[in-house]
Amino acid sequence: MTLSNVDLTNCEREPIHILGSIQSYGYLLAILPDTYSIVHASDNIADLFGISADQILGQPLGSIPAKTDLSVNALVELLNVGRRSGSWDSMNPHQFVINEKAWNLITHQHNGLIILEWEPVGDHNPLRNQQLIAQALTEVQASRTLTDLLQNTAQRVKKIIGFDRVMVYRFEADWHGHVIAEAKEPHLEPYLGLHYPASDIPRQARELYKVNLVRLIADATSTPSRILSQPDWPEDRPLDLTHSVLRAVSPIHIEYLNNMGVQASMSISLLYRGELWGLISCHNTIPRFVDYPARQAAKFVSQLLSTALEFRKDEEDQSNLLLYRQHGQYIHEQLLIDENVVQALTKRSHTILDLTKATGAALLFNNHIYRLGKTPSETDIRALADWLKASDTETFLETSQLAALYPPSEEFRDLGSGLLATVLSKELNEYVFWFKPEQIQQVTWAGNPDKPVTVGENGQERISPRKSFEAWTQTVRNTSEPWSEAEVSAVIKLREDVLQVITKQANEIRVLNQ
Ligand code: BLA
């Protein structure tokens, strides 16, 4: 597939690891590991070596003229060490002075070639990076809540790389993502809390971010430099840039960045058990280069977060479970003391509303409806009960898309797009309901939705986070946040407790009547 026939509908098929160019702030050579003969060179290599790509392609490294002050011997020696040890990473970056300017060489071996990439040395201070990392470590240990931890990490990464905006972007099970923490300059509109469809970061891009954990786009306005190959190199073996640091950017993503008013972007992968669970996504309004050591420092901080986060997440899930269990315990005690279901479930200090994260709950008992929090009307609840009675639900029903099962509920989707219901008795028409609102009602568009959008090159804005957010809202109409296992198990336990009390009472009445 060529670039010209990639469009918004087939993003996933764009072969972004073999686009055939690099970002032009750096230079690339690919050589054969045995002879060090140059197989590929970036078109801009003349700026570095004063000799065109055509002149060195197919030649050994030694053909790079001595008039540039690159010491080819030192380079060959370095490559020999790398090749012997097989561990290229430990050599990165290696500083070379070429034409009186310092360059970082980053080397790796992939698909039978050694790939050499030179990029500028920044004015970073290694000591400062170390201090920032040390502070990050302390912070991870000290952060009290998950929100604190995420927020601190965003701030820390912002300090290291100095971008205008740093977000923690988290993927959900369907690969759509949302911004769960953000550190930004005050004049930028917030993206915190916004959701984006999976297609904004297509599958093959996510795959690459699993392998190559830092992605820097230093200048989205620059023209990429083409990668040229030695004359007899087979066309069907383009240079694979999966591990490259200079890989050029998909034109579609460049359009996205333009429409967002972003000229530099950096993403750092957050992995959990080998899977991508998020990105630290950073923006700058003007081009900005982040050098290798600073990128490594930012990566290290992200890895700290990855490790800490799952641990914290488990902790939070666990504490919710305990909390719901505790409320369930109180209600159970009330049931035993009161021997009155309505009283124990709805009138005491702990009620059925405390058992889950629902925003409303209702009890239909003895033909009466008792409502707590934000629920649909009595009429709507009665109709819902009739539908439930006719359905094949015997114990409980859990859905985050009630309207798909019961279309009339669309009328009250702002109160009950999600339903958790448990059957006390179908014969007596007795149920407990928990409601969650449509998720979209809870998600805020943090910016001003009426603000005019920037117009893309072709006269209309095709892609941007704002458009994506709108698209996402369409896909999640009539959907609530999902019910967690902790919520479902609290409800099942409540059902058992209530039925136990009711059965006991029934038995007592039977004994009395004998
Ligand atoms: C890559 N898309 C990305 C990246 C992000 C996003 C963070 C990683 C690269 C980077 O750091 O810039 C998406 N950026 C976002 C989102 C926000 C943000 C959601 O700031 C929200 C605040 N993108 C599309 C469509 C296509 C597409 C429709 O929206 C395809 C047709 C493609 N996105 C696309 C591609 C990449 C990408 C191909 C990979 C870029 C690369 O690494 O070369």
Q: How far is the CA of 291 from the centre of ligand 1 (A)?
A: 22
Looking at the chain, the number of H-run helices and the number of E-run strands are 15, 18
Six-digit token string for 241: 């840039």
Domain count, the chain: 3
* Cis upstream peptide for 93 (omega within 30°): yes
Look at 467 and 262; give whichever has higher pLDDT: 262
433 lies in a domain?
yes
Q: Are the C-beta atoms of 435 and 415 separated by less than 8 Å?
A: yes
Q: What average pLDDT score do residues 27-54 get?
A: 94
Domain co-membership, 147 together with 76: no
Contacts of 491 (CB under 8 A, 6+ apart): 355, 356, 396, 420, 422, 432, 434
Residues 114, 209, single domain; the answer is no
Given strand 430-436, what is the order of strands in its sheet?
368-373, 360-365, 430-436, 418-425, 396-399
- Per-residue pLDDT tens for 388-437? 999 988 899 999 999 999 999 999 999 999 999 999 999 999 999 999 99
| Inter-helix orientation angle 126-142/146-161, to 10° | 170
Residue 507 CA to ligand 1 center (angstroms) comes to 64
Q: Taking the CB of residue 473, how many other CB atoms lie within 10 A of it?
A: 17
- Does some domain include residue 184? yes
Ligand 1 atom at minimal distance to the Cα of residue 247: 43
131 with 115, same domain: the answer is no
Residue 41 has what pLDDT? 97
CA gap 306, 278 in Å, rounded: 9
- Is 396 strand, coil or helix? strand
Question: Which of 9, 167, 200 for mutating ligand 1's site (highest number of atoms within 8 Å of CB)?
Answer: 200
d(CA 346, CA 4): 63
pLDDT, tens digit, for every residue of 44-101? 999 988 889 999 999 998 888 755 556 778 888 888 888 888 888 888 999 888 878 8
Residue at 201: amino acid letter: I
> Is pLDDT at 7 greater than 90 in this prediction?
no
Q: Does residue 108 lie in a domain region?
A: yes
Residue at a domain's end among 72, 103, 120: 120
Q: Average of pLDDT values for 480-492?
A: 89
Amino acid 200 reads: D
Quote the pLDDT of residue 6.
56
> How much is the average pLDDT of 349-363?
95
- CATH code for the domain of 411: 3.30.450.270
Distance separating alpha carbons of residues 113 and 102, to the nearest angstrom:
25
Q: For residue 446, report the distance from its CA to the centre of ligand 1, in Å.
A: 20
Look up residue 70 and give its DSSP letter: -
In a domain, 434, yes or no: yes
Confidence of residue 370 (pLDDT cuts 50, 70, 90): very high
pLDDT band at residue 445 under the 50/70/90 scheme: very low
Closest atom, ligand 1, to C-alpha of 468: 29
pLDDT value of position 466: 61
Give yes or no for a contact between 364 and 388, defined as CB atoms under 8 angstroms apart. no
Smallest CA separation from ligand 1 atom 21, residue: 465
Which has more confidence, 167 or 150? 167
Query: What atom in ligand 1 is closest to the CA of residue 248?
Result: 43
Q: How far is the CA of 304 from the centre of ligand 1 (A)?
A: 24
Distance from C-alpha of 372 to C-alpha of 353, rounded to nearest angstrom: 7
Mean pLDDT, range 494-507, rounded to an integer: 88
- What is the Cα–Cα distance from 366 to 362, expressed in whole angstroms? 13
Q: Is the pLDDT of residue 22 over 70?
A: yes
Do 137 and 276 have their domain in common? yes
Does 215 share its domain with 66? Answer: no
Question: For a pocket test of ligand 1, which of 281, 288, 468 has the largest count of ligand atoms closer than 8 A to its C-beta?
Answer: 281
Verify that 394 and 485 share a domain, yes or no: yes
Q: Higher confidence at residue 454 or residue 296?
A: 296
Which atom of ligand 1 is found nearest the CA of 12? 30
The verdict on 397 and 298 lying in the same domain is no
Between 291 and 125, whose confidence is greater? Answer: 291
In a shared domain, residues 217 and 308: yes
- Residue 271 CA, distance from chain mean position: 10
Between the CA of 273 and the centroid of ligand 1 the distance, in Å, is: 23
Asked if residue 354 and residue 286 are part of one domain, the reply reads no
Portion of the chain with pLDDT greater than 90, in percent: 52
The answer on pLDDT for 459 being more than 70 is no
- Last residue within a domain, chosen from 69, 86, 120: 120
Instruction: Say yes or no: 268 and 158 in one domain.
Output: yes
Q: What angle do CA 42, 296, 117 make, to 5 degrees?
A: 15
Q: What is the CATH number of the domain that holds 166?
A: 3.30.450.40
Q: Choose one of 201, 285, 295 to mutate for the ligand 1 pocket test, by most ligand atoms within 8 angstroms of C-beta.
A: 201
Ligand 1 atom with least separation from CA of 177: 19
Q: Are residues 115 and 130 in the same domain?
A: no
191, burial (CB in 10 Å: exposed 0-12, middle 13-18, buried 19+) = buried
Look at residue 14 in the predicted model and tell me its pLDDT.
Answer: 82
pLDDT exceeds cutoff 60 at 168: yes
Q: Write out 254-290 in H/E/C secondary structure.
A: HHHHHHHCCCEEEEEEEEECCEEEEEEEEEECCCCCC
Q: List ligand 1's pocket residues with C-beta within 6 A.
A: 8, 11, 14, 16, 179, 191, 196, 199-202, 205, 215, 217, 249-250, 252-253, 256, 265-267, 279, 281, 463, 465, 468
Q: Which domain holds residue 68?
A: 20-120
The residue written with tokens 């950073």 in the block is 282
Mean pLDDT across 182-192 = 91
Mean pLDDT, all residues of the chain: 86
Instruction: Give buried/exposed letters for 384-412 (b at 16+ CB in 10 A, else e).
Output: bbeebeeeebeebbbbbbbbeebeebeeb
pTM (two decimals): 0.74
Ligand 1: centre distance to CA 312 (Å)? 28
Residue of 447 and 484 predicted with greater confidence: 484
The pLDDT score that the predictor gives to residue 13 is 80
Task: For ligand 1, pick from 195, 254, 256, 266 the residue to mutate: most ligand atoms within 8 Å of CB.
Answer: 256
- CA of 253 from ligand 1 middle (Å) equals 5
> What residues does 182 pair with on adjacent strands?
167
CB 460 within 8 A of CB 8: no
pLDDT at residue number 470: 65
User: How far is it, in rounded angstroms, from Cα 315 to Cα 331?
Assistant: 24
Model confidence at 8, in pLDDT bands (50, 70, 90)? low
Cα first-last separation, the chain = 84
**Cα–Cα distance, 145 to 312 (Å, whole number):** 8
Report the pLDDT value the prediction gives residue 312, as an integer from 0 to 100. Answer: 66
- Indicate the pairing of strand 225-229 with strand 101-110: unpaired
Asked if the structure places residue 7 within a domain, the reply is no
pLDDT for the residue 510: 73
142 shares a domain with 115: no
- pLDDT tens for 199-252 read 788 899 999 999 999 999 999 999 999 999 999 999 889 999 999 999 999 988
Mutation pick for ligand 1 pocket among 253, 255, 269, 295 (CB with most ligand atoms within 8 Å): 253
Backbone angles phi, psi at 149, to 5 degrees: -60, -45
Within a domain: 74: yes
| 138 in any annotated domain | yes
What's the pLDDT tens digit per position in 86-143? 888 888 999 888 878 889 999 999 999 999 999 999 876 767 777 777 887 887 777 7
pLDDT at position 58 is 94
Count of C-beta atoms within a 10 Å radius of residue 275:
9
